[in-house]
């Protein structure tokens, strides 16, 4: 059997849907069971589960601590998850993919800005309508746009763009998952739709976090049957 490698996003071990499939368990019990399965898959089948370090590892560590996981869980994480920093200088990504990513992010940011602008206008209209003698909101809308809201929205746009566009490339852990998977030619395990979309763009195999425990279980069940 061809040995497989997987790169885990934080959601690979924290996905609620996966927990629901295995019964009503606490996170401590669930992640312990998952790490034991990963350990058995490593020892029996040579399957390796990588986790980008330190980005995704720190996210998972914080999640475990917030859910009051015991020290044994942390020890299992350190033992059975292969911590590796992706080679961010050598992994090559086609320029078209990068262009589409930036274009997509710009579109999402502009959409958020337009929603916020409309809410500013709506809030100002409601406030003035309740404090003036205008018979309808239409009577004051043009005045609001011209004298009150116009300059405020311009200032908002400038500050919003500065805050949202400067240095943005979404989540660093998400990018590390994709880069490490590309470097290792490994499958991505996550529940994040963004990671799924960009895995497809980069030609990476994607495994939904909710089916990952079942996949490992299927591999292991076949090895037990052949004994």
Q: Tell me: the pLDDT tens digits for 80-97?
A: 999 999 998 888 888 777
Rounded Cα distance between 116 and 177, Å, is: 32
- When mean pLDDT is compared across 15-24, 40-49, 161-170, 176-185, the lowest value belongs to 161-170
Higher pLDDT, residue 195 or 123: 195
- pLDDT at res. 134: 58
pLDDT of the residue at 167: 44
pLDDT for res 169? 44
Q: How confident is the model at residue 108 (pLDDT cuts 50, 70, 90)?
A: confident
Q: Where in the chain is the domain with CATH 3.40.50.1010?
A: 5-91+174-225
- Averaged pLDDT for residues 128-132: 65
H helices present in 54-210, as ranges: 55-66, 71-80, 95-131, 138-143, 150-165, 172-184, 193-201
Query: DSSP letter at 146?
Result: I
What is the CATH topology of the domain spanning 5-91+174-225? Rossmann fold (3.40.50)
Residues 6+ apart with CB under 8 A from 72: 32
Closest-CA residue to 113 (of 147, 154, 144):
154
* Residue 140 in tokens: 């004051």
């Amino acid at each position: 059997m061809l040995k497989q490698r997987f790169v885990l996003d934080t959601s690979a071990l924290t996905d609620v849907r996966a927990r629901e499939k295995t019964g009503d368990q606490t996170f401590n019990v669930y992640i312990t069971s998952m790490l034991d399965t990963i350990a058995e898959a490593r020892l029996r089948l040579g399957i390796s589960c990588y986790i980008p370090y330190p980005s995704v590892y720190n996210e998972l560590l914080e999640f475990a601590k917030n859910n009051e996981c015991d020290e044994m869980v942390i020890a299992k994480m350190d033992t059975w998850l292969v911590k590796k920093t992706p080679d961010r200088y050598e992994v090559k990504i086609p320029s078209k993919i990068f262009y589409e990513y930036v274009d997509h992010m710009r579109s999402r940011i502009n959409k958020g800005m337009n929603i916020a602008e409309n809410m500013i206008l709506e809030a100002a209209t409601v406030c003035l309508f309740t404090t003036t003698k205008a018979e309808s909101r239409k009577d004051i809308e043009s005045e609001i746009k011209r004298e009150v809201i116009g300059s405020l929205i311009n200032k908002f746009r400038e500050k919003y763009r500065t805050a949202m566009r400067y240095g943005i490339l979404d989540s660093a852990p998400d990018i590390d998952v994709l880069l490490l998977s590309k470097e290792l030619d490994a499958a991505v395990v996550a529940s994040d739709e963004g990671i799924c979309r960009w895995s497809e763009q980069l030609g990476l195999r994607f495994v939904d976090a909710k089916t990952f425990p079942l996949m490992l279980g299927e591999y292991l069940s076949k090895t037990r049957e052949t004994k």
